[in-house]
Amino acid sequence: MSVKLEAFSWDSIKVSMGVTADPAAGAQIADIVVPAGMRRLYYQFQATIVCDATVANRIPVLRTLVNGTAIDFVSSDGATVVGSGTGFQSFIGNSLFNVAGRQYGQYIPLMEVPAGAIHRFFYVGLVAGDNIGVCTYFYKEAPA
């Protein structure tokens, strides 16, 4: 008896959107965790920050934790939020944009991650009165 196994492909799976809770002023964005028994392919993470004071630059970072190993994607100097401004940051798989008006994109490779993997989108240099909005993220999900 012969059994034919078909190769797995992400192509037929639709992209979903997730949104984190809105953090309190001065707090970082909640972690995004891949559910048990699933795996995900992430395409984009985005958030907006309103800075309270002209203190220092806030640098967006996307940290991926898989089995205790951290992979950091740190925004380039051109994508920091300066002083008391408002900024929109996005970590994007397969594309990069950098638009006037403090909208920046930072390239990330498409990442397939297993159940339990954690994505942490945070800002270095955050001060007490800064207000980060929700993090919106786009992904495909399949059984592990």
Give DSSP secondary structure letters for the chain: ---PPPPP-STTSPPEEEE---PPTTPPPPPEEPPTTEEEEEEEEEEEEE--SSSS-BEEEEEEEETTEEEEEEPPGGGPBPTT-EEEEEEEES---EETTTEEEEEE--EEE-TT-EEEEEEET--TT-EE-PPEEEEEEEE-
- Kindly state the percentage of the chain with pLDDT values over 70: 71
Look at residue 19 and tell me whether its pLDDT is greater than 80. Answer: yes
- Over range 85-103, report the average pLDDT: 52
Given a cut of 60, is residue 80 above it in pLDDT?
no
Neighbours of 53 (CB within 10 A): 11
pLDDT of amino acid 73: 82
Which class does domain 16-143 fall in?
A: mainly beta
pLDDT reading at 78 higher than 50? no
Mean pLDDT, residues 7-12 taken together? 82
Q: Can you tell me the distance from the alpha carbon of 77 to that of 103, in angstroms, rounded to the nearest whole number?
A: 13
More confident call, 97 vs 127: 127
Region 21-41 average pLDDT = 92
Task: Say if residues 80 and 58 touch (Cβ distance below 8 Å).
Answer: yes
Task: Share the mean pLDDT of the chain.
Answer: 78
Residue range 113-137: mean pLDDT, rounded: 87
Tokens of 120: 């942490």
Could you tell me which residues come within 8 angstroms of residue 98 by beta carbon, excluding any fewer than 6 positions away? 78, 79, 104, 105
Q: Is the pLDDT of residue 28 over 50?
A: yes
Q: Please say whether the beta carbons of 97 and 88 come within 8 A.
A: no
- pTM as predicted: 0.78
